[in-house]
């Protein structure tokens, strides 16, 4: 099938066009400036930078107008189809500016009225939502999943705009992501909805994301009648009727549809349960006729996906555990964030995999830490993305924190005044230090644990004296070093 699609692509006429570079402009929530004025100022900013290298982000601006109204300007998604960053000549590209403001309202609950109580059927976000900001960039995949999904939705809009007869060329606006738990399927669906809302902001004023949980959909309440399902999709239909909105319907763990069908066939569920399933499929068939709706679904158990539903999916994408290369990128992003927040201090230079390849993976003072990270990435193969994102936190909580310097904190920082756990061969008592100095000192000790105790003590004395002097805090601070008896 892939070969046939490739042959068809080669047979279609090719129109030479300048490559498009997408620039996302995050407008401050308090800003009331017109988007056209912001775009004009951003174009002036871009005109001063002819060449950029891969994705790039501006957080500070010399232009007072941009400083007041814009949080950031980002050149994005240049690396979706190219593994390594490439120099981009902005003058030779078509610049697509997307100005957006984040909705900070959070999710609301969609409830359905039942005879005895109200049932929460779905969660509802207005996009772009603040809680999904940055989610797209945090997801790392080995294959071109992101670019394929973006191209798919853009193609559905193109076919709709051109009034392509769906009886001759069929598309259903349904995406199915399947794979083991923890691989980011649901997060990718939410990030895709956010990204498309921003990308299509000139066409749709805002986005709507409705997340339906299949477990609640097929609870004992819903198995009594398909009327509640019809009511739920009627609410979705009301959102779709607003042509200024791009609507995304997310059905999580859609394999529950199959479970209901199989249970009904086995006689363990009443026949009304299968009518509810059929009602869902019928409603999907009805709403897919609208050009401003996309149906996103996920499944953890591929073998249990309903065949009738699989046939409705235009894209069936497997999302598996990340490879060692993807794990390296995930770890690298985690470490960069920890250094940015000064939890890891001082900042360490880390090379990308591409840079390691360019030097032939030769170990030296510059590449040592990056090679160690590469080895850790290989040992982490098989772990899900969800687990990988937790590991830096757990490493700090369970190892680094337990090996911190014993510190007697000021009364404002410690109710008991008791020191933190001491290293076995060295102890210090540091009194009346600012919290920032205490944090940096603890990290410095962790970085020097490989040195002999006497050398470590001398190094820390010099470091602490220099650090406190630089903050002009030394005259009013008491620092007492108490080496352990075996020094």
Q: What DSSP line would sit under 397-452, residue for residue? A: IIIIGGGPPP----TTT-SS-PPPPPPTT---EEES--HHHHHHHHHHHHHTTTS-
Q: Would you state the structure tokens that stand for residue 257, as one six-digit string?
A: 């549809």
In whole angstroms, how far apart are CA 165 and each of 5, 160, 169, 170, 298?
Answer: 20, 9, 6, 8, 28
Determine how many CB atoms are found less than 10 A away from the CB of residue 146: 21
Nearest to 175 by CA among 123, 249, 277, 232: 249
pLDDT tens, N- to C-terminus, the chain (487 residues): 555 555 545 555 444 457 889 999 999 999 999 999 999 999 999 999 888 888 899 999 999 999 999 999 999 998 776 666 778 888 888 999 999 999 998 899 877 776 666 777 789 999 999 999 999 999 998 888 999 999 998 898 888 888 898 889 988 899 999 999 989 999 999 999 999 999 999 999 999 999 987 766 655 554 555 677 778 888 899 999 999 999 999 998 887 766 666 666 666 555 656 777 777 888 888 888 899 999 999 998 877 777 777 888 899 999 999 999 999 999 999 999 999 988 888 888 999 998 999 899 999 989 999 999 999 999 999 999 999 999 998 888 876 655 444 333 334 343 343 343 434 433 343 444 555 665 666 666 666 666 665 566 566 656 655 554 444 443 333 344 444 443 3
**Burial class for 197, CB neighbours closer than 10 Å (0-12, 13-18, 19+):** buried
As a whole number of angstroms, the distance between CA 194 and CA 471 comes to 43
As a whole number of angstroms, the distance between CA 251 and CA 121 comes to 11
**Burial class for 408, CB neighbours closer than 10 Å (0-12, 13-18, 19+):** middle
As a whole number of angstroms, the distance between CA 326 and CA 82 comes to 14
The CATH H-level (homologous superfamily) assignment of domain 108-318 is P-loop containing nucleotide triphosphate hydrolases (3.40.50.300)
The full set of domain ranges for the chain reads 18-100, 108-318, 324-402, 404-480
């Amino acid at each position: 099938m892939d070969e046939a699609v490739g042959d068809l692509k080669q047979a279609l006429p090719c129109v030479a066009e300048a490559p498009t570079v997408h620039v996302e402009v995050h407008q401050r929530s308090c800003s009331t400036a017109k988007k056209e004025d912001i775009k004009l100022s951003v174009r002036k900013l871009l005109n001063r930078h002819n060449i950029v290298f891969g994705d790039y982000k501006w957080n500070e601006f010399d232009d007072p107008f941009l400083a007041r109204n814009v949080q950031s300007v980002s050149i994005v998604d240049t690396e979706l189809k190219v593994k390594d960053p490439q120099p981009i000549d902005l003058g030779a590209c078509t610049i697509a500016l997307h100005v957006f403001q984040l909705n900070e309202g959070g999710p609301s609950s969609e409830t359905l009225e039942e005879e005895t109580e109200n049932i929460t059927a779905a969660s509802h976000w207005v996009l772009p939502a603040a809680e999904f900001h940055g989610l797209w960039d945090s997801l790392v995949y080995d294959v071109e999943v992101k670019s394929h999904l973006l191209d798919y939705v853009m193609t559905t809009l193109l076919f709709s705009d051109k009034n392509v007869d769906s009886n001759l060329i069929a598309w259903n606006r349904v995406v199915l992501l399947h794979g083991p738990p923890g691989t980011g399927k649901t997060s990718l669906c939410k990030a895709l909805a956010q990204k498309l809302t921003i990308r299509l902001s000139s066409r749709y004023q805002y986005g709507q994301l409705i997340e339906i949980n299949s477990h609640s959909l097929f609870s004992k309440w819903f198995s009594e009648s398909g009327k509640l399902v019809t009511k739920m999709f009627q609410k979705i239909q009301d959102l779709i009727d607003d042509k200024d909105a791009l609507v995304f319907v997310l059905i999580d763990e859609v394999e529950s549809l199959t479970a209901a069908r199989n249970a009904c066939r086995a006689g363990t569920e009443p026949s009304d349960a299968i009518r509810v399933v059929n009602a869902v499929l019928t409603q999907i068939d009805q709403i897919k006729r609208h050009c401003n709706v996309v149906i996103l679904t996920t499944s953890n158990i591929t073998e249990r996906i309903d065949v009738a539903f699989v046939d409705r999916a235009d894209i069936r994408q497997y999302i598996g555990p990340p490879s060692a290369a993807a794990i390296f990128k995930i770890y690298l992003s985690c470490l960069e964030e920890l250094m940015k927040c000064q939890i890891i201090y001082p900042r360490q230079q880390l090379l990308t995999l591409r840079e390691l390849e360019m030097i032939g993976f030769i170990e030296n003072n510059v590449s040592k830490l990056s090679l160690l990270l590469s080895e850790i990435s290989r040992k982490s193969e098989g772990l899900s993305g969800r687990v990988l994102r937790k590991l830096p936190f757990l490493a700090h909580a369970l190892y680094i924190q337990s090996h911190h310097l014993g510190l007697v904190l000021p009364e404002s920082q410690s109710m008991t005044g008791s020191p933190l756990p001491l290293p076995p061969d060295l102890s210090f008592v540091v009194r009346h230090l600012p919290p920032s100095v205490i944090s940096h000192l603890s990290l410095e000790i962790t970085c020097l644990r490989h040195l002999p105790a006497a050398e470590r003590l001398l190094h820390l004395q010099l470091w602490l004296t220099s650090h406190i002097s630089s903050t002009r805090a030394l005259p009013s601070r008491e620092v007492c070093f108490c080496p352990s008896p075996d020094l």
